[in-house]
Each structure stands twice: as structure tokens, then as C-alpha cells.
């Protein structure tokens, strides 16, 4: 008998409109769609054309009307402030409606952008939901980005209002957000009309009366706003993600497809039932936070956890188990790096035994490659299935997973398992020819992407086509390389572009190179991702100095490290750079970044056939040894 997964997957490819129409019945519509898939304007496919609906209604009001008014919708657990606060669906709806009214009072209406630069506090979730409630479009920017990065996003999104907070708390440090925000607005050409600021008791900030409004004051005087039904393909949010240059890509998410796919995933991928507690230990600034802290659990009528802390050090490596036990968490979704941190601090899982994890059912990992050691450690320690799954900001939900709600498939270590419904995935060569099982090539998805796939890039339709659709005609390019085995299991091996994955955060080495190249002493540079036991990868810079520069190399390296922190932010984790006489290149001038990364990792490498001057590589190796890299493992 066919497995339920095989059946669902086959149906989704044979009859996509039937499959997704069935899934769409789980969402409340103000007006039903005319066409499930509108393919009249490729490559701009649209799901549920003609439909009208509202995301906030489906995430909140609908559940209040359906009997969940007193069920916790959100539990804010913040070990860094010693706070646990529960918001029922009724309370969260009320607060959201009032903040939506506050936004409307500032002139925010349908299609206007609201930029959200906030720590992990409930107001961040309320601001997101309030924005979509009135048909506006949010753009959340992760707090670990510096003012310059924030400014780039302000200029691209053109927000009418920015919502922020006086500070964030990183472990035992207070990060003052307001100076970063003011700095960013200073750098940006676009100026928002208003900033609404949450004053946190730990470190309130000074407001600028000509521009800033206190959140509490805004909400107290606001008239609650109703949900505005919007078109199915109306953008619900823009989320910037690293591209190969310093200009990030503004991924646009639709309204209907987003909800249909997320709702489907909660039951079928994550095996969750409405009313259960779901926890995604990520940040609202990343896609995982958008989809699985905020939207999916609420669309499904679950209780979601908002965790303001770190897997270790707040106060210890037992905090995940404490939260699972205290709140009855059924499924946890986090990045492998969090488990590597826990494993490092508590290798024998001594802290696990102190908590009652009997209600915990499944651990999901994504955001980077799951190393087998970490997966097996988690399996042993927790005694539950550990499910690796693969997706991207662009898709908004898993492309490849072991859909436990359909019945778990056998796990193969190193593989996130099989393509999810609607994802017709192939591995192809440079000429877009399918490769046989086991051979590594580009991972591509046949168009159209299933519901929730990006509509385009904000203000950049041509860039959307160039970045994702041109190289393999008829397919979406994931920019990941990997292979499929004979049974259709997908193995994701590496990025094919200049993106690296640092602690589950997606970062552009190209953007870092742009920063290094502005140093007055640097003639040429390269940044590569090198292996790191905790974070998976970290960036490492190579600098070629201008002729005649005779300053101490360590001093210049320290300066570029500070520059990356200042321009991109601490999240880049750029901590090391080395000076070299020249960079290894191909005869056509392409820098051999992959070879440099291998040397840094102490891995064997084959001499690239097209190398311009093979004598450069030993020089690179010597320079790397000088800063503690390139040791044979």
C-alpha cells in the first residue's frame, strides 16, 4: 500500500489545483477564489486569484469566534528579564486590533509598509499581525543588523511607520536599539513619518517628540481596527535576505498562498493538532520566525512560544528543557547550531533529566545542514524523532521534509528526506539536464512554486528573474547543490553562490567583501566561509594591501573586523582576516574562494585546472597557519 506521503505528493503534482483547493478549505475566505492557479503571466504565477481574505482574521479573530478566546495564543518566556506572560487568543486579538488602530491613526493603510526592528517581545508579534490586519505590508529587520544595513532596508521598503523598542537583551548585555534606529534613519534617504517605540523598563530611551510615539500611549488612545479583506496575492510582507551583493533581496510573500501552505504544513509536516503548544526557537527577524513563531501556529489554533534568550547561558543549557516542561511543548523547531551549543555545554545531557519532557513529541531542525553527530546526540538524549528539513526565505515553508503528520518515513542521516507537496525537485547539470541518482548538481524546482513561494522581489522584478529563473529555464534555482538517491531522498550539500550560513543565519560574503574593499589600505579582498564547530560556518577575510602600505597586518585586520561589525552587524560573526600577497585566481580572473576555504579547513584539495599561478596556494596556506587555520584535521 502506498504511504500517505507518496499519495499526497503524487496528487500535488498530478492535480495541483485540486490538491491546493482542498487545503484552502481550512482557511476562512471573505470571497472564494476564481482560479486556484493563475498561470496567465509566467513567471509571475498567482495562487487563488480572485479570492479575498485577511491573515490576521485567520490567525486571531477566527479562533475567538470559534471558541478559543481563553486559550493561550502566545506565551512570552524571557529568561533574560525573568518574565513569563501568557496572552489568550482574546487578549491578543484585542491588543492587535488596538495597535492596528494606532497604525491607521498614523495614516497607515492598505499597501503601506511598516518596518519592524524589534527584539523578541510580544509587541513584535502584535505589530506584525496588526500590520496585516489593515492590509499594510510589514518588513521585519533582524535586530543583529547594524544601522547601515537597516538603512538599506528602510530605503528599499519605504516604510510610512517604523516600530521599534528602546532595547534588546542579548544574554547579559543590553543592546540599545534607539541609537541604531536613529543612526539608520540618518543614513537613509527615505524618512518614515513616525516611529512607534516600545519603552522597555530595563532601558527606556529618549523619544524625539517631532517623530516618535510611545507604544503604550499609542495603544491606549487607539480605536480598534477591523480586519480588511485583501486580494489573495496582496503582499503580506517583505523579508530581506542576503543576496550575493550588499543589496539584500526583498522577498515578497502573498496572502492566500502563504496561509494555505502554512496551515497545511502544521498538521501534515509538523503533526500538530489545534490547541497544542508549538515552539520555534528562532527570531521574528528570520523567515522561520515569521512562519513558525507567528503565522503557522496561530493559523492552526496552537499556542506559540516567544522565547527571548539563548540556548545556553540564559541561564544554562537546560533552558530549552525547562520551557518544554513548563509549557507542555509538543514540537520544537530550531537550528542545529543551537543543539551544538547545548551539546558543548552539557555533553551528557545531565540537565535534561531535571525536567519532565513526557509531552514532547518531535524535534525539527532546519536553517543549515544537520550534522549527523548532533542529530544522533539529540535522538539519544531526548528519545524522540529528530527531523531535519530544508527550506528558504523564498519559499516560506519546507521544500524537503519528513512529514510526520502523514506518517514518518525512515530517516537517512544527512538528508532532510523527500520533497514536500508541490515541489517538483530535480538535480540538474549546468545545461539543466537531470542527473542520475547520487550525482551532485544544482537543486532546482519546476515552476510554478507551490503556494507561499515568493511573488517577486520588492521593486525588482527583473532581479527576481535574473537571480532565480534565468539560469535554468522553467525552474526555480535554489542556489543549493546536492543530490537525490534512488529512493528520492534529497541531500543538500552546499550553496552554489557566495552565501554562507553562520549559526543558521544566511549571510553574503559579497556584502562583506564590499565592506573590506572600502578600507583605505586594501587593494583587493575575498571572504570565504570556513568550518566552525559551533556555528557551522564563519566568515574569514583575505586582504591584499595596496603597494607601499607598511602598517602592521594585525592592525589592519582588526580594523576590517570592526568595519564589518559596524556596517553589517554583530550577526556576521566576522572575527578574522589575514593579509596575503595575492589571491589565487583562475586564468579568467575568478577568485578561487572554494579552494581557499578548503585550505583554511585543513581539507585536501585538488589543484584547480584553470589556476593562473599555482605558487599562490602555498602562500595562502602559510598565511592561514599564521592565524591558526589550515591545520590538518
Query: Could you tell which of ligand AMP, ligand COA, none binds residue 300, using a CB distance below 5 to 8 A set by kind?
Result: none
Q: Which positions ≥6 away from 196 have C-beta within 8 Å?
A: 102, 103, 106, 161, 162, 163, 164, 212, 213, 214, 215, 218
Of 117, 142, 240, 390, the one binding ligand AMP (CB under 6 A) is 390
Kind of pairing between the strands at 194-198 and 161-165: parallel
For residue 499, give the DSSP letter.
E
- The reply to whether 388 sits near ligand AMP by the rule CB under 6 A is yes
- The reply to whether 234 sits near ligand AMP by the rule CB under 6 A is no
Binding mask 547-576 for ligand COA (x = CB under 6 A): -----------------------xx-x---
Query: Could you tell which of ligand AMP, ligand COA, none binds residue 148, using a CB distance below 5 to 8 A set by kind?
Result: none
For residue 13, give the DSSP letter.
H
Of 248, 416, 419, 539, the one binding ligand AMP (CB under 6 A) is 416
- The reply to whether 366 sits near ligand AMP by the rule CB under 6 A is yes
CA angle 628, 630, 633 (to 5 degrees): 105
- The reply to whether 291 sits near ligand COA by the rule CB under 6 A is no
Report the nearest approach of ligand AMP to the CB of residue 222 (Å). Answer: 34
Query: Could you tell which of ligand COA, ligand AMP, none binds residue 287, using a CB distance below 5 to 8 A set by kind?
Result: ligand AMP
Query: Could you tell which of ligand COA, ligand AMP, none binds residue 492, using a CB distance below 5 to 8 A set by kind?
Result: ligand AMP
Of 343, 506, 535, 553, the one binding ligand AMP (CB under 6 A) is 506
Query: Could you tell which of ligand AMP, ligand COA, none binds residue 506, using a CB distance below 5 to 8 A set by kind?
Result: ligand AMP
- The reply to whether 286 sits near ligand COA by the rule CB under 6 A is yes
- By CB under 6 A, the residues from 535 to 574 that bind ligand AMP are none
CA angle 488, 492, 497 (to 5 degrees): 135
Binding mask 484-513 for ligand COA (x = CB under 6 A): -------------------xxx--------
- The reply to whether 280 sits near ligand AMP by the rule CB under 6 A is no
CB of 248 or CB of 541, closer to ligand AMP: 248
CB of 146 or CB of 225, closer to ligand COA: 146
User: Which whole-number Å values give the CA distances from 594 to 473, 492, 526, in the listed order?
Assistant: 26, 17, 11
Q: Which stretch binds ligand AMP (CB under 6 A): 173-181, 216-224, 391-399, 539-547?
A: 391-399
CB of 105 or CB of 561, closer to ligand COA: 561
Q: What would the grid cell of residue 426 be?
A: 530535480
Say if CB 386 and CB 334 are below 8 A apart.
Answer: no
- The reply to whether 288 sits near ligand COA by the rule CB under 6 A is yes
Percent helix, strand and coil across the chain, each rounded to 5? 35, 25, 40
Query: Could you tell which of ligand AMP, ligand COA, none binds residue 168, using a CB distance below 5 to 8 A set by kind?
Result: ligand COA
Task: Report the C-alpha gap between 440 and 435 in whole angstroms.
Answer: 8
For residue 33, give the DSSP letter.
-
CB of 369 or CB of 567, closer to ligand AMP: 369
Cross-strand partners of 280: 333
Q: Which of 496, 43, 459, 515 shows the shortest CA–CA distance to 249?
A: 459
Query: Could you tell which of ligand COA, ligand AMP, none binds residue 299, using a CB distance below 5 to 8 A set by kind?
Result: none
* Residue with the three cell numbers 518544554: 324
Q: Which positions ≥6 away from 245 have C-beta within 8 Å?
A: 508, 510, 511, 514
CB of 71 or CB of 247, closer to ligand AMP: 247
Helical (H) or strand (E) element with 8? helix 4-14
Of 265, 304, 402, 501, the one binding ligand AMP (CB under 6 A) is 501
Query: Could you tell which of ligand AMP, ligand COA, none binds residue 282, using a CB distance below 5 to 8 A set by kind?
Result: ligand COA
Q: Which of 23, 149, 152 shows the shortest CA–CA distance to 420?
A: 23
- By CB under 6 A, the residues from 511 to 540 that bind ligand AMP are none
- The reply to whether 311 sits near ligand COA by the rule CB under 6 A is yes
Of 35, 211, 310, 463, the one binding ligand COA (CB under 6 A) is 310
Q: Which of 296, 285, 280, 308 shows the shortest CA–CA distance to 172?
A: 308
Query: Could you tell which of ligand AMP, ligand COA, none binds residue 368, using a CB distance below 5 to 8 A set by kind?
Result: ligand AMP
For residue 357, give the DSSP letter.
-
Say if CB 47 and CB 451 are below 8 A apart.
Answer: yes
Binding mask 461-500 for ligand AMP (x = CB under 6 A): -----------------x-x-----------x--x-----
* Residue with the three cell numbers 591558526: 628
Query: Could you tell which of ligand AMP, ligand COA, none binds residue 175, using a CB distance below 5 to 8 A set by kind?
Result: ligand COA
Q: Quick check: bond before 438 cis, omega within 30?
A: no
Q: What is the full DSSP assignment across 294-306?
A: IIHHHHTT-EEEE
Question: What angle do helix axes 553-567 and 509-516 make, rounded to 10 degrees?
Answer: 120
Q: Which of 449, 457, 450 shows the shortest CA–CA distance to 252?
A: 457
Q: Which positions ≥6 away from 470 have C-beta within 8 Å?
A: none
CB of 337 or CB of 452, closer to ligand COA: 337
- The reply to whether 398 sits near ligand COA by the rule CB under 6 A is no
Q: What is the full DSSP assignment across 468-483?
A: IISSSTTEEEEEEEEE
CB of 110 or CB of 176, closer to ligand COA: 176
Say if CB 27 and CB 264 are below 8 A apart.
Answer: no
Query: Could you tell which of ligand COA, ligand AMP, none binds residue 392, using a CB distance below 5 to 8 A set by kind?
Result: ligand AMP
Number of residues this chain uses to bind ligand COA (CB under 6 A): 25
The residues that touch ligand AMP, with contacts defined as CB under 6 A, are 241, 287, 366-370, 388-393, 416, 478, 480, 492, 495, 501, 506
The residues that touch ligand COA, with contacts defined as CB under 6 A, are 143-144, 168, 170, 175, 282-283, 286, 288, 310-312, 334-335, 337-338, 341, 367, 503-505, 534, 570-571, 573
Amino acid at each position: 500500500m502506498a504511504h500517505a506521503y507518496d499519495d499526497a505528493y503524487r496528487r500535488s503534482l498530478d492535480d495541483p489545483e485540486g490538491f491546493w483547493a482542498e487545503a484552502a478549505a481550512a482557511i476562512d475566505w471573505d470571497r472564494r477564489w476564481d482560479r486556484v492557479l493563475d498561470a496567465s503571466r509566467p513567471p509571475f504565477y498567482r495562487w487563488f486569484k480572485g479570492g479575498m481574505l485577511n491573515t490576521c482574521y485567520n490567525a486571531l479573530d477566527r479562533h475567538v469566534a470559534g471558541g478559543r478566546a481563553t486559550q493561550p495564543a502566545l506565551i512570552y518566556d524571557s529568561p533574560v528579564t525573568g518574565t513569563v506572560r501568557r496572552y489568550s487568543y482574546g487578549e491578543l486579538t484585542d491588543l492587535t486590533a488596538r495597535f492596528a488602530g494606532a497604525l491607521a491613526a498614523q495614516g497607515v493603510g492598505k499597501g503601506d509598509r511598516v518596518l519592524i526592528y524589534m527584539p523578541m517581545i510580544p509587541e513584535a508579534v502584535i505589530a506584525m499581525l496588526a500590520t496585516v490586519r489593515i492590509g499594510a505590508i510589514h518588513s521585519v529587520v533582524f535586530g543583529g543588523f547594524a544601522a547601515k544595513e537597516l538603512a538599506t532596508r528602510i530605503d528599499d521598503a519605504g516604510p510610512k511607520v517604523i516600530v521599534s523598542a528602546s532595547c534588546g537583551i542579548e544574554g547579559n548585555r543590553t543592546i540599545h536599539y534607539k541609537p541604531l534606529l536613529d543612526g539608520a534613519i540618518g543614513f537613509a534617504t527615505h524618512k518614515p513619518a513616525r516611529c512607534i517605540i516600545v519603552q522597555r523598563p530595563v532601558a527606556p530611551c529618549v523619544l524625539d517628540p517631532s517623530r516618535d510615539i510611545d507604544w503604550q500611549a499609542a495603544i491606549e488612545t487607539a480605536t480598534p481596527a477591523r480586519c480588511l479583506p485583501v486580494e489573495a496575492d496582496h503582499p503580506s510582507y517583505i523579508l530581506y535576505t542576503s543576496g550575493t551583493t550588499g543589496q539584500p533581496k526583498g522577498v515578497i510573500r502573498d496572502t492566500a498562498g502563504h496561509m494555505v501552505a502554512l496551515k497545511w504544513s502544521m498538521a501534515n509536516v509538523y503533526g500538530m493538532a489545534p490547541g497544542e503548544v508549538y515552539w520555534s526557537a528562532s527570531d521574528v527577524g528570520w523567515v522561520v520566525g515569521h512562519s513558525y513563531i507567528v503565522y503557522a501556529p496561530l493559523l492552526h489554533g496552537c499556542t506559540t512560544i516567544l522565547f527571548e534568550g539563548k540556548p545556553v547561558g540564559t541561564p544554562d543549557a537546560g533552558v530549552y528543557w525547562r520551557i518544554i516542561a513548563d509549557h507542555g511543548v509538543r514540537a520544537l523547531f530550531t537550528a542545529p547550531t543551537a543543539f551544538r551549543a547545548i551539546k558543548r555545554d552539557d555533553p551528557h545531557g545531565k540537565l535534561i533529566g531535571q525536567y519532565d519532557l513526557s509531552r514532547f513529541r518531535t524535534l525539527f531542525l532546519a536553517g543549515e545542514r544537520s550534522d549527523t553527530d548532533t542529530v544522533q546526540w539529540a535522538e539519544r538524549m531526548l528519545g524522540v524523532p529528530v527531523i531535519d528539513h530544508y527550506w528558504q526565505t523564498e519559499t516560506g515553508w519546507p521544500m524537503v521534509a519528513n512529514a510526520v503528520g502523514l506518517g514518518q518515513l525512515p530517516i537517512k542521516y544527512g538528508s532532510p528526506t523527500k520533497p514536500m507537496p508541490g515541489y517538483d525537485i530535480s538535480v540538474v547539470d549546468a545545461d539543466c539536464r537531470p542527473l542520475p541518482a547520487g550525482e551532485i548538481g544544482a537543486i532546482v524546482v519546476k515552476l510554478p512554486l507551490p503556494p507561499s513561494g515568493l511573488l517577486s522581489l520588492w521593486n525588482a522584478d527583473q532581479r527576481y528573474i535574473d537571480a532565480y529563473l534565468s539560469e535554468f529555464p522553467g525552474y526555480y534555482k535554489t542556489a543549493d547543490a546536492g543530490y537525490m538517491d534512488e529512493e528520492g531522498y534529497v541531500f543538500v550539500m552546499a550553496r552554489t553562490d557566495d552565501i554562507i550560513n553562520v549559526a543558521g543565519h544566511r549571510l553574503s560574503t559579497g556584502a562583506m567583501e564590499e565592506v573590506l574593499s572600502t578600507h583605505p589600505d586594501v587593494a583587493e579582498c575575498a571572504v570565504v566561509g570556513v568550518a566552525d564547530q559551533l556555528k557551522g560556518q564563519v566568515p574569514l577575510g583575505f586582504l591584499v594591501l595596496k603597494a607601499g602600505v607598511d602598517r602592521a597586518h594585525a592592525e589592519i585586520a582588526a580594523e576590517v573586523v570592526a568595519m564589518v561589525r559596524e556596517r553589517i552587524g554583530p550577526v556576521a560573526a566576522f572575527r578574522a582576516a589575514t593579509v596575503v600577497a595575492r589571491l589565487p585566481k583562475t586564468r579568467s580572473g575568478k577568485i578561487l574562494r572554494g579552494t581557499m576555504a578548503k585550505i583554511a579547513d585543513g581539507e585536501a584539495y585538488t589543484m584547480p585546472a584553470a589556476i593562473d599561478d599555482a605558487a599562490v596556494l602555498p602562500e595562502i596556506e602559510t598565511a592561514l597557519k599564521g592565524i591558526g587555520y589550515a591545520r590538518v584535521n
